[in-house]
Chain A
Amino acid sequence: GDSVTQMEGPVTLSEEAFLTINCTYTATGYPSLFWYVQYPGEGLQLLLKATKADDKGSNKGFEATYRKETTSFHLEKGSVQVSDSAVYFCALSDYRGSARQLTFGSGTQLTVLP
């Protein structure tokens, strides 16, 4: 079945450092790919998305490119801020049963120090 593998955390960076969180996936079809962010005690927020190969999703300085040849969707940000501290989830959407379903990675905890 479908699966998503994320970089193990936790990740601790200094403010203004470069961020990469690796994500690879396994899917039988052509899934859409997503990054979600979860701040403490809150629900998940959609950060960015990509629907086909070579698409680049971007939002709030974060970017990720849908790489079909390497089945990857790595999250990057050039200069992180303290406010970026959160848990980040990579996910894919594929059709199973009677509806589209999301398969999530295990999440990566990011802490940014001032």
Chain B
Amino acid sequence: SQTIHQWPATLVQPVGSPLSLECTVEGTSNPNLYWYRQAAGRGLQLLFYSVGIGQISSEVPQNLSASRPQDRQFILSSKKLLLSDSGFYLCASEGTGVYEQYFGPGTRLTVT
């Protein structure tokens, strides 16, 4: 089965600072990978997905970007954080069975 790692677990950053969140996957190869954001008390919003190295699809226009430099590595970035970027960021990897997704433990980002 797959294991998804995310770091850091928590992050407090000032407005205008850069961001880099990392996600790595074990136990599978060439997975579809996903970044979600979960605002407090709300559901999940799909931000980006990737079907392969260097292939990124954006679902929501914003000041965030994503990259996939290796098969099992997915990075979420920003050049300048906004207060509205605060939230819980989850990385997910698609399973090889019936298209379920497996989630990492998440990164709690607070922009101050």
Contact = CB atoms under 8 A, between A and B. Distances in A.
Contact of A100 (B32, B44, B90): B32
A42 interface: yes
A99 B104 contact: no
Given A43-B90, A106-B42, A99 B103 contact: no
A84 to B, nearest CB: 19
A45 interface: yes
Contact-residue bracket for chain B:
20 to 34
A47 B49 CA distance: 23
Interface string B89-108: 01010100011111111101
B102 A32 contact: no
Interface in B61-112: 90, 92, 94, 98-106, 108
Contact of A42 (B43, B49, B98, B106): B106
B53 interface: no
Contacts of B98: 32, 49, 51, 93
B57 A98 contact: yes
Contact of A89 (B43, B100, B108): B43
B43 A102 contact: no
Given A43-B90, A98-B57, A100-B94, A89 B44 contact: yes
Contact of B100 (A93, A97, A105, A106): A93
Residue picked from A43, A49, A97, A104, most chain B C-beta under 10 Å? A43
B94 A32 contact: no
A100 B46 CA distance: 12
Nearest to A102: B101
Interface of A: 32, 34, 36, 41-46, 49, 51, 89, 93, 97-102, 104-107
Given A43-B4, A43-B104, A102-B44, 8 more contacts: A32-B100, A93-B101, A97-B49, A99-B57, A99-B94, A104-B43, A107-B42, A107-B43
